[in-house]
Amino acid sequence: MESSKFPDSFAWGASTAAYQIEGGWDADGKGPNIWDTFTHQGGDRVYKNQTGDVACGSYTLWEEDLKCIKQLGLTHYRFSLSWSRLLPDGTTGFINQKGVDYYNKLIDGLLEMNVIPMVTLCHFDHPQAIEDQGGWLSEKTVEIFEQYARFCYATFGDRVKLWITINEPYFASKLSYEVGNFPPGKKEVGVGAYQAGHNMIKAHAKAWHVYNNCFKDKQKGRVSIALDSDWAEPLDADSLADQEATMRYMIFRLHWFANPIFIDGDYPAIMKSVISQKSKEEGLKTSRLPEFTAEEKAMIKGTADFFCLNYYTTRKVKPLDSTSSQPLGNSDVGAEGVTDPDWPLAGPEWLLVVPWGLRKLLAHVKDSFGDPEIFITENGFAQTDPPLLHDVQRWGYFQETLAEILKAITVDGVKLKGYFVWSLIDNFEWTLGYNVRFGLFHVDFEQPNLPRTPYFSAVEYAKVVKGN
């Protein structure tokens, strides 16, 4: 890696999410969330029918997590609140004080170590009671989320200054309401993800306004949303069809959510026209993509104080081959991503290592969304079980990635403010269970005290953080 340094105030972090680490699924009055329900139903939808019932035990072992953070010397820690631990039925009708106490201890513990908390309100795990009323498919959830956000700002905002409303609305809507491999397992192809995404955008925007109107002056914090995206390039750089397919790929992934929030309060024109045309061909009277009213557009536009980007991988893109078997819901985008055999694989089959893709994606965000301040709120590489503690190859991927993001700052002029590794500790990797390990710290899930042990990557990352 080049010897240049990152800017002085650069944020060095690691990220986790409540359901993936906490355990204590029914401890002290916590209500069930959609992942509790889903994993308890079994049915081989999760690797070996594993659950997050215990996970890394962070609900009781949070001080062990603080030790890991300290060992890394992080300046920031991103974690999420379990909505149903705080509000068991999702509403402020009943507040679970033990849940509040838990996050108070965690936040205070971080601040005592001079670590800045970055807090996500909802990371894939909304309360089952909310889902029972329609979840993200229901408009009612918008207002309930707004109330939840207000409660969190009022309760923790004296100490938390960096907020993320929703993690990855793309996956939260697609996998839960269209592909159906995430809870609640709905397969409303061509409709569910758009409807859920529509409500998430409105919920996010309302939560931003509540902060802006009622808390910002006093608390002086900032609010955003975490958007994930692949980087995409045409399979054949000279093919017009591949270039157009690549543009659609990025639009239906990143711009779907980023355009309304960062540009003009509305969906990208291409997305609207493609879906409306297809809906017509299908004999529908209205487009499957819901519309925002003029008032809603004005409400949504400009509702992020910085850009949170989660990046993992890159794809080469070509027009969708209608004869090949495709993941559900891919037909509107009319594009498919393929991988380059030269790209190494890190852990799960989707994670091809392409560090330069992140640099290009950062430049794309800079150019497309008004040169915002950006935090990379997730990036990482996994090993499948059993992992090597001496993960030299994985650290190599991190090094290449850090070299690319440094170029993004120094050469491309991207206002990159921080980098957060996914993840602080090995954890419950959703449908892949504990088989896929993203942690900087190894967790021994076989032992009752769930010991954390640094990987080689953790030791090396600590050196980078220290030397900036």
Does 167 contact ligand BGC by CB under 6 A?
yes
Which backbone phi and psi does 218 adopt, to 5 degrees?
A: -85, -45
Catalytic-residue membership of 378: yes
Stretch that binds ligand BGC, among 165-173, 199-207, 215-223, 264-272 (CB under 6 A): 165-173
- Contact call for residues 184 and 131 (beta carbons, < 8 A): yes
The angle subtended at Cα 66 by Cα 63 and Cα 70, nearest 5°, is 140
- Of 168, 178, 336, 460, the catalytic one is 168
- Residue from 17, 129, 205, 443 touching ligand BGC (CB under 6 A): that is 17
Binding residues among 111-150 for ligand BGC as defined by CB under 6 A: none
| Closest distance of CB 436 from ligand BGC, Å | 7
- Of 64, 131, 336, 378, the catalytic one is 378
Does 168 contact ligand BGC by CB under 6 A?
yes
Question: Distance (Å, rounded) from C-alpha 21 to C-alpha 35?
Answer: 13
Binding residues among 400-419 for ligand BGC as defined by CB under 6 A: none
Binding residues among 306-325 for ligand BGC as defined by CB under 6 A: 310
Q: Which residues pair with 310 in a beta bridge?
A: 228, 378
**CB-nearer residue toward ligand BGC: 365 or 409:** 365
**CB-nearer residue toward ligand BGC: 167 or 383:** 167
Dihedral over Cα of 262, 264, 266, 267: its sign: negative
Give one DSSP letter per residue of 401-451, joined into a string.
HHHHHHHHHHTT---EEEEEEE-SB----GGGGGGEE--SEEE-TTSTT--
Distance of CA 124 to CAs 107, 147, 176, Å? 21, 18, 9
**CB-nearer residue toward ligand BGC: 150 or 253:** 253
**CB-nearer residue toward ligand BGC: 6 or 231:** 231
Catalytic-residue membership of 63: no
**CB-nearer residue toward ligand BGC: 167 or 303:** 167
Binding residues for ligand BGC, how many (CB under 6 A)? 11
Could you tell me the two tokens for 104?
A: 């108070």
- Residue from 47, 171, 343, 456 touching ligand BGC (CB under 6 A): that is 171
CA dihedral 242, 283, 172, 320 (to 10 degrees): -20
- Contact call for residues 376 and 358 (beta carbons, < 8 A): yes
Stretch that binds ligand BGC, among 23-31, 166-174, 246-254, 442-450 (CB under 6 A): 166-174
Q: Which residues contact 395 (CB under 8 A, 6 or more apart)?
A: 456, 457, 460, 461
- Contact call for residues 382 and 434 (beta carbons, < 8 A): no
**CB-nearer residue toward ligand BGC: 229 or 330:** 229
- Residue from 422, 441, 455, 461 touching ligand BGC (CB under 6 A): that is 422
Catalytic residue set: 168, 378
Residues near ligand BGC, by CB under 6 A: 17, 20, 167-168, 171, 228, 310, 378, 422, 429, 438
